A and B are shown apart, each in its own frame.
Chain A
Amino acid sequence: MNEVLKRLCKSYGPPANTKAVAAIIEKEISPFVDEICIDKLGNLIAHKKGLGKKVWIGAAMDQPCMIVTYAPDNGRLKFSVEGILDLRPLSESEVVFEDGSVGTLLPEHESAGGESRDYYIRLSDGGRAGIGDVAVLKGSYSENGALLSSALHQRAGCSCLIDVIKSIPAEAPGNFCFAFTSHSVAEARGAKTASFDFRPDIAVSIGTSPADHRIHPGFGPVLHMRDPASVTHPDLVAAFENAASRIHIQLQREVASHGFSLISGVVKNGFNLKTASVCLPVAGYQTPDEAADSGDLKDLSALIIGAISLF
């Protein structure tokens, strides 16, 4: 059982409130880095000092959420969504607030579409929530040959980056900055500020990719050739492909037509740098029943470790 990933998937962490997730991460990585800080946006930033190129590696901590905007006496909470969240497959799912209050996401009518106005949250007995309170999908996690969770697409990147930090050889060349970012669900805002002071030469984003007819769990990690907001530098494409070949892992290539990686925030600083985005393929993306291959997750960490020496 991947206990770290389990704890990450079950923890509460909407944008601007990722303390619980950051606490898990800090405990895991603190023996392996030289310094850790939390910046003004709640990003957790860790440094492993060394000589050579300045390499920034980031993963997002926060998750899409539902912000309560109307809390009448009858307990039918109305909300706005922050982040990319398709409500249709989430109907009748449990949601949880910061204080542990639980609610159920329910449609207003049978023909409810994807708009938040078509839904409400019904609080469970004893639950309390008011305007401004924020709910997230209740985190679940199990392993049954595959990794199964409602929160893989938010937290698998963090799990991978933790493994990378623990596994980087002491002699690996480079001056490293590892960033677990907040404010990431609508745009990569946290990544912008989390990379500003470091001014990297190379930036790598670790994320997830929805499985489709081109990308499949069980066939290795995914290298984004480009997405709507960034292009992976050819030198880094070569580094990742060489690394995959050396350690004998499959690598899937993707040109993503939707979504964005943390690189879209990093490049807004205007630095002259090379960027790449690598991902874990996830089936059932953004549903309560996401699934990924544990071998893909291990291979993603190994790929990044292998590529680092080739940057």
Chain B
Amino acid sequence: MLLKDLASAWGVTGQEGEVRAILKKEIGPYVDEIRRDGLNSMIAVKNGRADLPKVMICAHMDEVGFLITEIHRDGTLGFESLGRIDLKVDASKTIYIGKNRIHGVIRTGRSYRESYIDIGARSSEEAGKHVRVGDGAIFTTRFEDFGDGRIKSKALDDRTGCGVLAETLKNHYEMPVYGVFSVQEEIGERGAFAAAGLVRPDIGIVLEGTVCSNVSVVEPYRHSTSLGEGPAISIADRTSHFDLELSRAACKLAEKNGVPFQRRRITGGGNDGGAIHTAGSGARCITISVPCRYIHSPICETSMEDFRNTIRLVDLFLKEIESGRIGA
């Protein structure tokens, strides 16, 4: 299953090769060209009519994780997060470190500086045989079914987006479509800045796995999105105020075609849209997301029906662009 393969792959920020390889194999037969830019984002090109808008659809390959910063004399490891991970969710979690996936367990102090990873080594010499400063680390969470129609996994932000994009690229559209699997989103949308500068789209569609908080201990007005209520169409976040007409068009399209949908009801966070809409002389940009509970933690949860409905909505939206009913 593609989503399972993607979510289970190694892809900490800056080390997205395994994810890229899976995606390249999956989409290769359906695109005209696959490029890699200078930062290693993968750009899948589907040629199209020059009189139609150039569309860039973007999902990021990297996941939040850790970086080993120090090997202590007693064999424990100093580390920091790559991407924002609240220290509270790290306590006693197990991780894989480096290419050899050395098993470690996190012990937390009051800050990352006061926390450490134990890999069972008794000295820095022993630890140094297995890990190095600069090695990345990911959570060991397995992808599994979780209740009825739901799954749990690490890295659903943004392997859900990658999965939606991969499925979308299997369809034919008349306009030029650039499917960008970006890198380094979690540390400031860096891959998207570079890729959008290359592509210079007319329209940008960002696909994300986004926050979801419809649980009883959270007041209803703070529910960012709700699991099981369909793809979430963003209004604004810290890096973008999304194109009003495109966002409204996406909502109307979902309603008209019986696709459940919702608005992303917070304006916190940010995504590759911040880079795409300000690329060059600008692009009209929206974000459509799969709601995922507990993102930026070891275990995220999503609804497979939300995932499938996001694929449906993106396809409908692209067909509107193809028809000329949505323009540049």
Tell whether, in the assembled complex, residue A41 and residue B267 are in contact, meaning their CB atoms are under 8 Å apart.
Answer: no
Residues in B neighbouring A117, C-beta threshold 8 A? 222
CA distance A67 to B244 in the complex (A): 12
Tell whether, in the assembled complex, residue B241 and residue A80 are in contact, meaning their CB atoms are under 8 Å apart.
Answer: no
Tell whether, in the assembled complex, residue B277 and residue A189 are in contact, meaning their CB atoms are under 8 Å apart.
Answer: yes
Across the two chains, which residue of chain B brings its CB closest to A76?
A: B221
Across the two chains, which residue of chain B brings its CB closest to A198?
A: B281
A residues 1-23 in Cβ contact with B at 8 Å: 14-17
Tell whether, in the assembled complex, residue B221 and residue A78 are in contact, meaning their CB atoms are under 8 Å apart.
Answer: yes
Tell whether, in the assembled complex, residue B283 and residue A40 are in contact, meaning their CB atoms are under 8 Å apart.
Answer: yes
Interface residues on A, range: 20 to 34
Tell whether, in the assembled complex, residue A39 and residue B235 are in contact, meaning their CB atoms are under 8 Å apart.
Answer: no
CA distance A238 to B265 in the complex (A): 49
Tell whether, in the assembled complex, residue B278 and residue A192 are in contact, meaning their CB atoms are under 8 Å apart.
Answer: yes
B87 interface hit (Cβ, 8 Å): no
> In the complex, how many angstroms separate the beta carbon of B277 from the nearest chain A beta carbon?
7
Give 30 A-B contacts (CB < 8 Å), ordered by A residue: A15-B236, A15-B241, A16-B236, A16-B241, A16-B242, A16-B244, A17-B244, A39-B281, A39-B282, A40-B202, A40-B284, A41-B277, A41-B278, A67-B267, A69-B266, A70-B220, A78-B221, A80-B266, A80-B268, A82-B241, A82-B267, A131-B235, A183-B277, A192-B278, A193-B278, A193-B281, A194-B282, A196-B280, A197-B281, A265-B278
Tell whether, in the assembled complex, residue B267 and residue A80 are in contact, meaning their CB atoms are under 8 Å apart.
Answer: yes
B residues 271-325 in Cβ contact with A at 8 Å: 277-284
Tell whether, in the assembled complex, residue B282 and residue A41 are in contact, meaning their CB atoms are under 8 Å apart.
Answer: yes
CA distance A70 to B238 in the complex (A): 18
Tell whether, in the assembled complex, residue B267 and residue A69 are in contact, meaning their CB atoms are under 8 Å apart.
Answer: yes
Residues in A neighbouring B220, C-beta threshold 8 A? 70, 72
B243 interface hit (Cβ, 8 Å): yes
B residues 216-243 in Cβ contact with A at 8 Å: 220-223, 235-236, 238, 240-243
B89 interface hit (Cβ, 8 Å): no
Residues in B neighbouring A81, C-beta threshold 8 A? 267
A186 interface hit (Cβ, 8 Å): yes
Tell whether, in the assembled complex, residue A193 and residue B244 are in contact, meaning their CB atoms are under 8 Å apart.
Answer: no
Tell whether, in the assembled complex, residue A131 and residue B238 are in contact, meaning their CB atoms are under 8 Å apart.
Answer: no
Tell whether, in the assembled complex, residue B265 and residue A70 are in contact, meaning their CB atoms are under 8 Å apart.
Answer: yes
> In the complex, how many angstroms separate the beta carbon of B235 from the nearest chain A beta carbon?
5
CA distance A15 to B220 in the complex (A): 26
A132 interface hit (Cβ, 8 Å): yes
A-B contact count (CB 8 A): 70
CA distance A80 to B234 in the complex (A): 13
Known contacts A131-B265, A183-B241; A67/B282 CB under 8 A:
no
Main secondary structure of the interface of B (DSSP, over half): loop
B263 interface hit (Cβ, 8 Å): yes
CA distance A39 to B281 in the complex (A): 8
Known contacts A67-B235, A70-B220; A193/B265 CB under 8 A:
no
> In the complex, how many angstroms separate the beta carbon of A133 from the nearest chain B beta carbon?
9
B236 contact from A82, A131, A193, A265, Cβ within 8 A: A82
Tell whether, in the assembled complex, residue B284 and residue A69 are in contact, meaning their CB atoms are under 8 Å apart.
Answer: no
Tell whether, in the assembled complex, residue B282 and residue A193 are in contact, meaning their CB atoms are under 8 Å apart.
Answer: yes
CA distance A155 to B282 in the complex (A): 23
> In the complex, how many angstroms separate the beta carbon of B222 from the nearest chain A beta carbon?
8
> In the complex, how many angstroms separate the beta carbon of B62 from the nearest chain A beta carbon?
23
Residues in A neighbouring B236, C-beta threshold 8 A? 15-16, 67, 80, 82
B328 interface hit (Cβ, 8 Å): yes
Residues in A neighbouring B279, C-beta threshold 8 A? 193
> In the complex, how many angstroms separate the beta carbon of B202 from the nearest chain A beta carbon?
7
Residues in B neighbouring A41, C-beta threshold 8 A? 277-278, 282
Beyond the given pairs A14-B241, A16-B243, A80-B266, 17 more chain A to chain B contacts, judged by CB atoms under 8 angstroms and listed by A's residue number, are A17-B244, A40-B283, A41-B278, A70-B220, A72-B220, A80-B236, A80-B268, A82-B236, A131-B235, A131-B263, A132-B235, A193-B279, A193-B281, A193-B282, A194-B282, A196-B280, A197-B281
CA distance A16 to B282 in the complex (A): 12
For the complex of A and B, 5 pairs with smallest distance between CB atoms: A193-B282, A70-B221, A80-B267, A15-B241, A78-B221
Residues in A neighbouring B267, C-beta threshold 8 A? 67, 69, 80-82
CA distance A132 to B202 in the complex (A): 24
A residues 65-99 in Cβ contact with B at 8 Å: 67, 69-70, 72, 78, 80-82
> In the complex, how many angstroms separate the beta carbon of B164 from the nearest chain A beta carbon?
22
A residues 230-267 in Cβ contact with B at 8 Å: 265
Tell whether, in the assembled complex, residue A69 and residue B282 are in contact, meaning their CB atoms are under 8 Å apart.
Answer: no
Residues in B neighbouring A80, C-beta threshold 8 A? 236, 266-268
CA distance A196 to B200 in the complex (A): 12
Residues in A neighbouring B244, C-beta threshold 8 A? 16-17
CA distance A70 to B214 in the complex (A): 13
0/1 per residue, A185-222, Cβ < 8 Å to B?
Answer: 01001001110110000000000000000000000000
CA distance A80 to B264 in the complex (A): 12
Tell whether, in the assembled complex, residue B263 and residue A40 are in contact, meaning their CB atoms are under 8 Å apart.
Answer: no
Residues in B neighbouring A40, C-beta threshold 8 A? 202, 281-284, 328
> In the complex, how many angstroms separate the beta carbon of B219 from the nearest chain A beta carbon?
9
Across the two chains, which residue of chain B brings its CB closest to A15?
A: B241
Across the two chains, which residue of chain A brings its CB closest to B234?
A: A132
> In the complex, how many angstroms separate the beta carbon of A12 from the nearest chain B beta carbon?
13
Residues in A neighbouring B277, C-beta threshold 8 A? 41, 183, 189
Across the two chains, which residue of chain A brings its CB closest to B235?
A: A132
Residues in B neighbouring A192, C-beta threshold 8 A? 278
Residues in B neighbouring A132, C-beta threshold 8 A? 235, 247, 263
CA distance A307 to B60 in the complex (A): 47
Residues in A neighbouring B242, C-beta threshold 8 A? 16
Tell whether, in the assembled complex, residue B241 and residue A69 are in contact, meaning their CB atoms are under 8 Å apart.
Answer: no
> In the complex, how many angstroms separate the beta carbon of B196 from the nearest chain A beta carbon?
11
A residues 42-83 in Cβ contact with B at 8 Å: 43, 67, 69-70, 72, 78, 80-82
0/1 per residue, A124-159, Cβ < 8 Å to B?
Answer: 000000011000000000000000000000000000
CA distance A67 to B243 in the complex (A): 14
